[in-house]
Structures are given as C-alpha cells and as structure tokens.
Amino acid sequence: MPLFSPHDQYVRVKQHCGELLSEVRKERPLVHHITNTVTINDCANITLAAGAAPVMAGAAEEAVEMAGIASSLVLNIGTLWPGQVDVMIIAGKAANERGIPVILDPVGVGATTLRTESALRILRECNVTILKGNEGEIGVLAGSGGTVRGVDSYGCSGDPVDVARRCAEVTGTVVAMTGEIDVVTGDGEVYLIRNGHPMMDRLSGTGCMAASLVGAFAAVASSPSKAAVAALAAFGRAGEIAAPGAAGPYSFRTGLFDALYSLSPEDLRDGTQVEIRRGI
C-alpha cells in the first residue's frame, strides 16, 4: 500500500506551497539574475514582491563573485547576444561549484539558430536545476517539436505532459512548462498547476517574471520540482486575485505585483490548484 493516499499527497503539496512562501519571506534569498533587458525591472520587482532580494549583474568581471554570495541564479536569454552566453556559463559553473540552484529560461528557443544553440550550450556546460519555458520552447528542447514566433509560444506538438516528460529525460533537469495549465516534472511525478488568469497572456514579461519566482522559491527549497510548483501556483494565484480589479493589461500589471506582495501563505495553501500524476 502507498504511504500516502492521493488526497494526502494533494494536501501535502498545497501545504508545502504555503510553507515555501513563508520561507522565502523569512530568509529573503538573494537571486542573481542575468536576464532579459526588456523585462529586467519587472523581474526585479516581482522578486521583491515575493519577499526575496534581486540582483541584476551581467558583467563577466563579477559573475563568479556574485554567484558566490547569491542563493540562486536565473539565466534568461530573452535579449540574447553571444558574449552574454559566455557570462552565463561562467556564472552557472560558479553556482554549480557552490551547489546553489540554476534556473534557465530559454526565451525564444526555436525562433532562431542562435537561441537554440545557446540554450543547448548552457544545458551542456552547466548543471541546470530547473528549465522553465513555455510549451513551444520546451517542445523544441524535447526534440518533439514546438512553434515559437519571436519570443511567443504557439504550442508544442503532442500532449503537453508527454512533451514535458520527454524534455526532462533529454535534458536531465526538472522542467517547468508554462501554459494554460502549467506542468512541472520531477521527483518521479508530474504536477499540473491550474492557477492563473487569461490576462497574464496580455502582458509582456510574465514568463520572465515566473522564472524569477522559480529562482526565489528554489533558493529555499530542498526539492526543485516542489519549488517550481509553489512559484507557479503563487504567480497564478496572484493573477487570479489581480484580474477582477483591472481595467486592462497595465492596471493588471500593477495589481499583479500588489497581489503577490499581499498573498498570505494560507491563501496560497488554500488557493493552489494542483493535480499530481505519476511521472518519469
């Protein structure tokens, strides 16, 4: 007989989401970003709203030193240039040596050869803890097919759960795939997170912000997959709270930050909508 029933597991995961939010606010981990210049301010502010501390440091000369004091590292190739990848790998290797989690957001993978080759190089040369991408990006990296135009996803080929599983197998990472339903694979299970609101698709940078939150939660968690579940559930729950009071995308943006800042561990615990399946 299983040690826990499916209902027990469901309750434990929801409880863990609330506990991790409390830990982020208690520990205030430093999240080192080498990230997208379009969304860098939003990434910093969403990290602060969650209760963590952001630092945006992309110079090669300080990459090792910054990784030496950070609690996690977020790499985002949204505004990519070749020299940036070299810096990301320097920082990634330093983070690996310290044993802190590395989160890769492969923005726009599949849209150009440079982006695809850069993401594969980072995965090859660094030990990436969590790969956070949309359906198109994860489909490309899984080798199962995905459609990306610019930095926007137009979906993956096949069942999203199967694609996420395949990507985890191919890359050897925990995979957090965002979409209408977010999918996280790891620890031998698959988690489907159903929090969120359609307004989140009307705002630039929500994917980048999600990666920052994954970095914040991963910094305080022993399980990368559960960190990703908690981060995506918290972000989605904030979107659900913010949407009813928004007149449009930009007022929603303000409400999103405020909702995350005000989100209580109890609200996250009670509001997390997650399904657990046996996975890889």
Which residue ranges are tagged as binding site?
Answer: 56, 132, 178, 205
Q: Which residues are annotated as a binding site for substrate?
A: 56, 205
With beta carbons less than 8 A apart as the criterion, state whether 141 and 147 touch. no
Cβ-proximal residues to 75 (8 Å cutoff; 6+ apart), any chain: 34, 35, 88, 91, 92, 102, 103, 104, 105, 122
Q: How far apart are CA 139 and CA 199, in angstroms?
A: 24
Please give the radius of gyration of the chain, using alpha carbons only, rounded to the nearest integer: 17
Classify the phi-psi angles of 58: left when phi > 0, otherwise alpha if psi is within -120 to 50, otherwise beta.
alpha
**DSSP annotation of 71:** S
Q: Which helix (H) or strand (E) covers residue 86, if one does? A: helix 82-98
Annotated binding residues for ATP, written as ranges, equal: 132, 178
